[in-house]
Structure 1
Amino acid sequence: MSGLREKINRLAEERQERLIEILRELVAFQTVSPPARNTEEAQSCVKSILSGLGFKTEEWELFPGDKIVAGSKQGDASEEYQSLLLNGHIDVVAVGDETQWKYPPFVLTEEDGWLYGRGTADMKGGMASSLFALQLLQELGIKLKGDLFFQSVTGEEAGEAGTKSCIDRGMKADFALVADTSNLEIHGQGGVITGWITIKGKETFHDGLRSRMIHAGGGIIGASAIEKMMKIIEGLQELERHWAVTKTYPNFPFGSTTINPSVIEGGRNAAFIADECKLWVTVHYYPNETYEDVAKEIEEHIIAIAKADPWLKNNLPLFKWGGISMIEEKGEIFPALDVDHNHEALAVLEEQHNAVSEQKAAVSMSPTVTDAGWLGQAGIPTVIYGPGELNEAHAVNEKVRIQQLLEHSKVLAGFIAKWCNTERSNKP
């Protein structure tokens, strides 16, 4: 393998400009989400690259104006050798005030070994280096015995689960690698789910009746849904603090399980007692939990609080969890992802990383979330391994090191060449 690695490394250095060219093409597409619905041209570009690399491609619409592109290349002995799925997202976050940018955000600009532009770190850089790795293998004439799949999804930045749509179509492999921002560390991740907690009174009262609700002998049993939501928020804070001292997980800082009151909506106007209040929460949880279990735990805690309140017990809070889009439904799910430290593919990836970077691969947990959790939830052993530093993701003057893109391509090409030519121990 060392001879092949040397060939890959040498060719990568010689063809470095092609890597930069791919990233330049991808950055130029303004695939900002939200508003989203703007990825068709970018996905056509990815599809064209994949087709040129010998992949059979298919595409479908996630939402109008947003497409998913998937490519597959059948191995010479698919039934007997390991398959691999590469995944990444083509959408990026908004640039904000462009006058604050050193260079135009959608024009790739090189300076002192860095490439500037929106998406360079998150994660068009990872998409470009992955596609470049595939090109290196093609130019070297490396044949694969196992199947190789590539997914270019959209919707990740708005929780729209483009990757889940791939899974729903039956796309699976023996191992998956998501080239999202990880600074060339091998990551798993915690999970995130958003939810709405709604307090809705059975009756609506004029503001002039408030005095009869809050003073002795008033005779009207009523309450402001906004004020009652304050009690719910206090209960969420109590549960969050309880989690902080009772829940831990390796490679996560203590207290990483959080319940964030993100948005609150309530009331009609100043002439009414607020008869409805909604709270949007964002919940982070550990890989040994599921979003269903976490949501259930929150609901049980809040209902217990409500049943101890003389008004809330007759107007119990309502819950709505998750959703297919932050844009369409104001809801999202990112399942957690654990790392199987004993998986054969992880050892192969670590070996390739160590040889190329001359440093031991760090295996840890991401402090953020990606689509990788959907692949893991589908039963596919998965890791996050991509270029880019997390502090550059979503930042003004976002940038990525050229050398890191090259290293990612070298590692990935070597990993594909070895893994997809590894015989399955449990042949069908």
Structure 2
Amino acid sequence: MKLAASGGALTPEERRAAEAVDAERLFALLADVIAIESVANRETPAQQRVAKEMRAIGLETDVWEIDFERLRRHPAYTADVDRRDGLGVVGTMGRGEGRTLILNGHIDVVPAGEVARWTHPPFELTQRGGRLFGRGVVDMKGQLCSAVEAARALREAGVELAGALQVQSVIGEEDGGSGMLATIERGHTGDGAIVVEPTEFVIAPAQAGALSFRLTVPGLAAHGALREEGVDPVEKFIPIFQRLRTLEAERNRDVADVLFRGEALPFALTMGRLRAGIWPSTVAESLVVEGRYGVAPGEELAGARRALEGAVAEAASGDAWLRDHPPTVEWTGAQFAAARTDESDPVVSALAGAVQSLGGTEPRVGGVRYGADMRLLVNQGQVPTVLFGPGDVRRSHRPDESIHAEDLVDTARILAVTAIRFCGLLASGSPARELPDRV
């Protein structure tokens, strides 16, 4: 995205805030958090660094230990790792007498994998050719630092918001959203939210859901030299695989939601891991498939599950062995519901207006295929939410993750202007309120 040099139709306060964005400070914070390997259950040092920055720029900062024993009893809790401890971090500014805008990002990252496959060290911020490299620059430490910098720029510019701006740094997004759920349960909600996902500057008021499943196809073990005396579950899986591909095509035909039209496969059904057998010269006793099942906004999850279970049962009904030894489907791990916000909501219009004023062109509005913490804000917190941020999700979860450096700076400017338009300005002469820390 190229921001217009003129700054478009900005008010004096908006212009001051946009001009107060400090790229060097943004990148310095990002370098610090990139250096912290904040994978699942190891996010606390990174959260402490973000909280320190929030306090330094004058935000009311709430830092708390998440009670996972209690949180696990919540019906929306779906973490697919054994969560033990972690911090929630929320920084707030503004008078709190108008609308509250949330800027949300997650601090956790996926593992770097084989470090030898990286050109640059994954946990060291590297700048080259106008791009930043490092695990999390796209997903999504880079955008989170842009949100923090937006708040700092508003303070630096002397902007007093009538409402409130919250910057939320959450853990556990990659494994089910436990940090987002804990933040909502803490009481940190608002009138609108922007989750700073890498949407390539597309405003996304809709996200698909994704349900994890485990399919087990039974077989009958036999010595490899006597293969005909066994039942090969790999062979039995073939018609099930074909029926699931047909189900996927059916579910992606004539997509109702306009925000997903034009996408080749918005609600994909992926069978990502297959395991069978215990020994090369033994017919496998069973085959286990673990996969991801895309669901549409507004779709009833129970109905979606029944459709997959029914497709498996239908395929199995044509085989004598599987009729007597039916495959089983289990719903395990992360269960990401879909989410939708109306395109006419004020958070959408405020963000779109800020992008257009700073960039000179009308932003594209669309849906994203992947699950995100947006679903919890919308479905549990009742907060109208959009996904928006720089970067291409295709560059995340892989070696040499990278993003255009200037895009992060532009994002901070957009978020600062959006906050002014959504939250409003404190009337002239109204005293500012000092906000204490909560720890």
Q: TM-score range by the shorter chain?
A: 0.7 to 0.9
> Which amino acid letter does the alignment assign opposite residue 59 of structure 1?
W
Matched, 1:380 2:397: no
Matched, 1:3 2:3: no
Matched, 1:107 2:132: no
Which stretch shifts more, 55-64 or 279-288? 55-64
Shift in Å, 1:46: 1.0
Matched, 1:56 2:61: yes
Q: TM-score, normalised by structure 2?
A: 0.81
Which stretch shifts more, 165-174 or 294-303? 165-174
SS at match of 1:311: helix
Once residues 72 and 21 of structure 1 are traced to their aligned partners in structure 2, the CA distance between those partners, rounded to angstroms, is 19
The change in CA–CA distance for 1:56 and 1:255 in structure 2 (over 3 A counts) is closer
Matched, 1:298 2:308: yes
Matched, 1:193 2:211: yes
Shift in Å, 1:73: 2.8
Hey, what does 2:430 align to over in structure 1?
none
For structure 2, the 5+ residue unaligned runs are 1-9, 69-81, 427-439
Hey, what does 1:227 align to over in structure 2?
235
> Which amino acid letter does the alignment assign opposite residue 387 of structure 1?
P
Once residues 403 and 294 of structure 2 are traced to their aligned partners in structure 1, the CA distance between those partners, rounded to angstroms, is 27
The number of residues matched between the two structures is 398
Hey, what does 2:393 align to over in structure 1?
390
Hey, what does 1:286 align to over in structure 2?
296
> Which amino acid letter does the alignment assign opposite residue 297 of structure 1?
A
Once residues 74 and 20 of structure 1 are traced to their aligned partners in structure 2, the CA distance between those partners, rounded to angstroms, is 22
Shift in Å, 1:422: 7.9
SS at match of 1:156: coil
Matched, 1:82 2:82: no
Hey, what does 1:40 align to over in structure 2?
44
For structure 1, the 5+ residue unaligned runs are 214-221, 324-331, 424-428
Matched, 1:416 2:435: no
Hey, what does 1:368 align to over in structure 2?
370
Once residues 34 and 228 of structure 2 are traced to their aligned partners in structure 1, the CA distance between those partners, rounded to angstroms, is 62
Q: 1:25-424 alignment to 2 at 5 Å?
A: 25-31=32-38, 33=39, 36-52=40-56, 53-61=58-66, 67-73=86-92, 75-78=94-97, 81-159=98-176, 161-187=178-204, 188-200=206-218, 206-207=222-223, 223-247=231-255, 249-252=257-260, 253-269=263-279, 274-323=284-333, 332-378=334-380, 379-421=382-424
Q: CA RMSD in A?
A: 2.9
Hey, what does 1:23 align to over in structure 2?
30
Deviations 1:165-198 (A, max 9, x none): 3334444221111011122221232221110112
The change in CA–CA distance for 1:174 and 1:322 in structure 2 (over 3 A counts) is farther
Identity of aligned residues (%): 26
Q: TM-score, normalised by structure 1?
A: 0.83
Instruction: Check whether the contact 2:277–2:285 (CA below 8 A) recurs between aligned residues.
Output: yes
Once residues 368 and 393 of structure 2 are traced to their aligned partners in structure 1, the CA distance between those partners, rounded to angstroms, is 9
Hey, what does 2:4 align to over in structure 1?
none
Once residues 290 and 193 of structure 1 are traced to their aligned partners in structure 2, the CA distance between those partners, rounded to angstroms, is 12
Deviations 1:203-242 (A, max 9, x none): x6654997886xxxxxxxx844443333322221222233
Which stretch shifts more, 152-161 or 2-11? 152-161
Which stretch shifts more, 145-154 or 57-66? 57-66
Once residues 277 and 103 of structure 1 are traced to their aligned partners in structure 2, the CA distance between those partners, rounded to angstroms, is 39
